[in-house]
Amino acid sequence: MPTGEEAKPGFRTKTVATRLTPDELAEIEAAAEGAGQALSEWLRETALRAARQRPADPTELVLAEVWAVRYALLNLFHAAAQAASEGRQLLPDSILKIRDQADARKLQQARKLLDDFLAPKGKERGHMP
């Protein structure tokens, strides 16, 4: 739960109205109650979270998959070479773990790559102008 300035970002002077069926209202009220929030607070937070959510960028998604394949291949080759040098085989669980690590990090890494690529000259990688 936000505190301090986050809880009250400023005076709220605007109102948004919408029409709902009785069933829709009951559903929304139940969700707000389940979250332990007042209806207006729940509606505001839900609407703002949706509005601030970063839209899916096809370039970002493709880059994420390319990054995941690169990460998985490099880590699989390394793990297989290390296992062979120790006279053992690469276990299936190790392969699944590498896949899961790639999947968990791919979108974050793709966004970082794009941000670094699109950064203004002189500000990339911590360099000052």
Tell me the C-alpha distance between 68 and 106, whole Å: 5
pTM: 0.52
- Count of other CB atoms within 10 angstroms of residue 118: 8
Write the CA distances from 82 to 4, 79, 88, 120, integer angstroms: 52, 5, 9, 40
Specify the higher pLDDT residue, 5 or 109: 109
The whole-number pLDDT of residue 1 equals 47
**pLDDT tens sequence across 12-61:** 899 999 999 999 999 999 999 999 999 999 999 999 988 887 767 888 89
